[in-house]
Amino acid sequence: MSTILLFGRLREEVGQSEFVFSEFTQGTVADLRSALASSEIGSSHTFISGQALVAVNQVIVDDSHLIQSSDEIAIFPPVTGG
Amino acid sequence: MISVQKDDFNVGFEYQNLRSVSQNEGAIVFFVGLVRDMNADGSVQAMEIEHYPGMTENVLSNIALQAKERWDLQQVKIIHRFGRLEAAEQIVFVATSSVHREAAFAACEFIMDFLKTKAPFWKKELNDQGDVWVEAKESDELKLTRW
């Protein structure tokens, strides 16, 4: 079970700033994306499992990164500050 | 060195602060970003800026550190606001100081280019027709290749 933080457009579309994702505990970011794609939240918000960026412990990581059960996970769209 | 804040900032105050801890600088360069009242699709009344508390500060600190490793800089200051900002309000302040202007100019641009593409901020434009999340621009990503 992982808690996933959401930001920006994703947070607004899903309607919450975080959600508990029981289908995932640990594995790679690619595993997380695939678990999200087949979940209820991922099927209604395809962006989550696709183009969205994934940060683990506040660092953007690629699909091969291994997520541990205690890690802070966040998913968000490409950034637009400045 | 880094401040992510809701409140506005005063450029004169920040400049004086940089000067008061002057360490043989010959140049101070600063950039101020403002909320534009127009985008490609029409008018913009205000903007809502969201960030990822903690990560945003870490990313900005890391960008400042990279700039300091690359150029001979004395000081770097980055301020970025979040929350609702009206058209023409100040969003971002980046200042760099160095013995020579070349380093200060280049580092200021470097910091802005990386801030725009790496720091976790998301902008939403607010106008009469509704709210629109700003899409990331490929041209901003391409600018990184010059570094």
Q: Note the pLDDT tens digit of each residue in B101-143.
A: 999 999 999 999 999 999 999 999 998 888 999 988 999 989 9
A7 found inside a domain: yes
Give the pLDDT confidence of B1-35 residue by residue, as tens digits: 999 999 999 999 999 999 998 778 899 999 999 99
Is pLDDT at B147 greater than 70 in this prediction? yes
A68 found inside a domain: yes
Beta carbons of A79 and B54 less than 8 Å apart: no
Contact of B79 with chain A, judged by CB distance below 8 Å, is answered with no
C-beta separation of B99 from B72 below 8 A: yes
Task: Tell me the CATH number at A10.
Answer: 3.10.20.30
Q: Provide the domain count of chain A.
A: 1
- Counting residues of chain A whose pLDDT is more than 90, the rounded percentage is 59
Contact of B34 with chain A, judged by CB distance below 8 Å, is answered with no
Residue range B79-108: mean pLDDT, rounded: 97
Q: How far is A4 from chain B (nearest CA, A)?
A: 13
- For A11, name the nearest residue in chain B, comparing CA atoms only: B50
> Which of the residues B39, B50, B118 would you substitute to probe the A interface, choosing the one with the greatest number of A C-beta atoms within 10 Å?
B50
C-beta separation of A29 from A4 below 8 A: no
**Among candidates B49, B79, B74, which has minimal Cα distance to B61?**
B79
Residue-wise burial string across A23-45, b where 16 or more C-beta atoms lie within 10 A, e elsewhere: ebeeeebeebbbbbeebebbeeb
A56 found inside a domain: yes
A81 found inside a domain: no
A82 found inside a domain: no
Domain of A43 in residue numbering reads as: 2-76
Give the pLDDT confidence of A37-70 residue by residue, as tens digits: 888 887 777 777 677 999 999 999 999 999 998 8
pLDDT at B36: 87
pLDDT at A69: 87
Residue with more model confidence, B84 or B129 = B84
Q: How far is B111 from chain A (nearest CA, A)?
A: 10
A53 found inside a domain: yes
Partner residue facing A58 (CB), from B55, B124, B135: B55
Please state the pTM of the whole predicted model. 0.94
Residue range B56-63: mean pLDDT, rounded: 98
Beta carbons of A79 and B50 less than 8 Å apart: no
Is pLDDT at B77 greater than 70 in this prediction? yes
